[in-house]
Amino acid sequence: MPFDFGRPMVAVFCGSRRGYDPLFASAARETGEEIARAGAGLVYGGGNIGLMGVVADAVLAAGAPVYGVIPESLAAKEVAHGGLTRLDVVASMHERKARISAAASGFLALPGGLGTLDEFFEIVTWKQLGHHDRPIVILNAGGFFEPLLSTVAKMTTDGFVSDPARLFTVYPTPADAVRTVLGVPLASRLG
């Protein structure tokens, strides 16, 4: 049974690096602020570095809870965040992903590397297989995910993926991405 923070928790998958474009860190910071503004909390991989640290710090600074889950093998490498509301150090990546999924009301992918894609595609595959029906959103900050979206479109036209819009949605701004992952109508303005 996941820990109950008494509010929706947004799972964010993002880089343990910041990337070269300052836009990525800015989008991560704004995403954290939007999560808190919406009355939600953050569940994520527990790191204190890269975009992971940026989004977590923004949520914490805005007064909302942050739940981190990090495997023992990465606790030192990704520098486990010591200031979280709750940090669980687990035995494996599988346990990390399972705990994040169990705590999440919805899932949001920000720019990142191979680990981000691994987490994103696993949760999309689980939705495709009917294991959950929670919202999955890509924040396409600065067009970062355009090559990936082109690949998914090619998979669709070649008959390997059916109706990707049923599986996930894509937004260019943190505000719209967070509203969508929390099921808040886009016409509604929070705070």
Sequential pLDDT tens for the chain (191 residues): 456 788 999 999 999 999 999 999 999 999 999 999 999 999 999 999 999 999 999 999 999 999 999 999 888 776 889 999 999 999 999 999 999 999 999 999 999 999 999 999 999 999 999 999 999 999 999 999 999 999 999 999 999 988 888 899 999 999 999 999 998 866 544 44
Separation CA 49–CA 55 (nearest Å): 10
Query: In this structure, what CATH number is given to the domain that contains residue 140?
Result: 3.40.50.450
Domain coverage including residue 95: 9-181
Distance CA 29, CA 57 (A): 8
Q: Is residue 25 one of the residues assigned to a domain?
A: yes
pTM above 0.85, yes or no: yes
Residue 106 near residue 138 (C-beta atoms within 8 A):
no
- Distances in whole angstroms, Cα of residue 18 to Cα of each of 126, 177, 183: 28, 19, 28
Residues 6+ apart with CB under 8 A from 159: none
Count up the domains in the chain and report the number. Answer: 1
Q: Is residue 189 part of a domain?
A: no
Q: Kindly tell me the burial class for residue 37, based on how many C-beta atoms sit within 10 Å of its own C-beta (0-12, 13-18, 19 or more).
A: middle
Is residue 151 in some structural domain?
yes
